[in-house]
Amino acid sequence: MKVSLISIPIRDQAKALKFYTEKLGFIIKKDLPLGEGTRWLTLVSPEWQDGPELLLEPGPNHFEPCKIYQDALMEAGMPYTQFDVKSVDEEYDRLTKLGVEFSVKPSTMGTWKFAV
């Protein structure tokens, strides 16, 4: 068994697509219209194009409990998804130059280095 698809609830597919591709560097794997202005929109890492796909799921727009859950996570400052990078410091610098805001600057906890 392996993970092939990870759903990330988003509110605006166009805005999320721009963020995930132009800032984070993911590439489109599938982009199929579903009707009512939504798409089956998946992305993959350019480094692992046959790896797990990220589904930009417009869940909060169609399922109120998803919106409440997403708002609660954001209010608590809890990250929903984790991405691994070669260097947290380098990625932090690159992303901040692109205007990405972090709630936690690069920090260490035990042997782990992270940013949120």
Radius of gyration of the chain (CA): 15
Regarding whether 26 and 52 lie in a shared domain, the answer is yes
How many structural domains comprise the chain?
A: 2
Give the confidence band of 72 by pLDDT, cuts at 50, 70, 90.
very high
CATH of the domain at 41: 3.10.180.10
**pTM for this prediction:** 0.88
Distance CA 59, CA 6 (A): 13
Whether 42 and 54 have beta carbons less than 8 Å apart is answered as yes
Residue 11 phi/psi, 5° resolution? -100, -25
Do residues 76 and 94 both lie within one domain?
no
Q: What confidence tens digit (pLDDT) does each residue in 11-21 have?
A: 899 999 999 99
Beta pairing class for 5-9 and 53-57: parallel
Do 98 and 72 share a structural domain? Answer: no
Q: Over the stretch 5-45, which tens digit does the pLDDT of each residue have?
A: 999 999 899 999 999 999 999 999 999 998 888 899 999 99
User: Burial of 22 by CB count in 10 Å (0-12 exposed, 13-18 middle, 19+ buried)?
Assistant: exposed
Domain hosting 103: range is: 85-116
